[in-house]
Structure 1
C-alpha cells in the first residue's frame, strides 16, 4: 500500500478509538483504553484472558493493530465484547 493511501486513512481515523458494529447497539465508537478477550494465544497471552488496548494503529498492509502494553498485535487474536 502506498503512503498516500495510509495518509488518507489517517485523516478519517484516530489512534485512540475504533468503530465497532454491534448487533444490539449498531455502530459505536470505542475509545482507548478498552478491554478485549484473547481468542487465540499470542505472545504471553492465553485464551480467555482479558487485556487492555491502549492504542490502535493500521499496518502498511491495512490491518488493524492493537497496542497492548508497548507491543502491537493483530486484531484477529482478540474479541471485543460490547
Structure 2
C-alpha cells in the first residue's frame, strides 16, 4: 500500500475511537481513553496491569497500535476491558 492509499483509508478513521465486536456479536465503539490489560511484560509495562489507551493508530502495514503513556505498542499485547 502506498502513502496515498494509506492517507485515503485513514481520512475515515479517528485516533480517539475503536470499533470492536463484543463476545455476544454486538458492535461496540470504545472512546479513548479505554482500559486494557497487559497480557505479558513489554517495555515498561508489567503483565496483568491495567493501563489506559490514549490513542489508536495504524502503522504503514495496517497493524493497529495503542498509544499508552506516550509510547506505541501493538494491539496484540493487550486484552481490552469492556
> What is the TM-score when the length of structure 1 is the normalising length?
0.92
Alignment deviations for residues 17-58 of structure 1 (CA, whole Å, 9 cap, x no partner): 110100236111100000100012110111110000001110
Unpaired runs of 5+ residues, structure 1, are none
Q: Which residue of 1 aligns with 2:37?
A: 37
Deviation at 1:62, TM superposition (A): 0.6
* Runs of 4+ with deviation above 6 angstroms: none
> Which residues of structure 2 form unaligned runs of 5+?
none
For normalisation by structure 2, the TM-score amounts to 0.92
Residue 68 of structure 1 is matched in structure 2 by 68
State the SS of the aligned residue for 1:56.
Answer: strand
Q: How many residues align?
A: 82
Q: Which residue of 2 is the match for residue 4 of structure 1?
A: 4
User: Quick check: 4-13 or 62-71, which moved more?
Assistant: 4-13
Cα RMSD between the aligned structures? 1.2
* Whole-angstrom distance in 1 between the partners of 2:19 and 2:9: 14
